Amino acid sequence: MDTAQAYGNERGVGEGVRSCGVPREQLFVVSKVAAEHKIYESAAKSIDETLEKMGLDYLVMMIIHSPQPWVEVNQSENRYVEGNRVAWKALEDEYEAGKLKVIGGAVASTIFNR
């Protein structure tokens, strides 16, 4: 099941996951850190907020949605390299905490799988 902070559908997808009758471990649930989160604190907080909204203990996968904030996609040469590094660090930390099983993104050269 695919969701994203930018889609505004995380709460509904989480409700579906919890109420569908299929064992949680059989469902592949993915969400995406909003493209605007280029500061560690906001990226980390957004991941925790996603889990809270969805009512889930973990996601199978979470990725960085876009290397550029949406208002700049394909409009700027700025690829937010440092901002994406810190967002990636937030993903790594949540992965290490067991909240995410796989992390990746448009700016990642590697996908880590738990």
The one-letter amino acid at 70? W
Q: Return d(Cα 52, Cα 112) in angstroms, integer.
A: 23
Decide if 32 contacts 54 (C-beta within 8 A). Answer: no
Q: Among the options 7, 40, 58, 80, which is catalytic?
A: 7
Residue 59 is inside which H or E element, if any?
Answer: strand 59-64
> Residue 3: how many CA atoms within 13 Å on its side-chain side?
23
7 labelled catalytic: yes
In 3D space, the residue among 94, 107, 104 whose CA is nearest the CA of residue 43 turns out to be 94
> Going by C-beta distance under 8 Å and a sequence separation of 6 or more, which residues neighbour residue 93?
44
Give the catalytic positions in this structure: 7
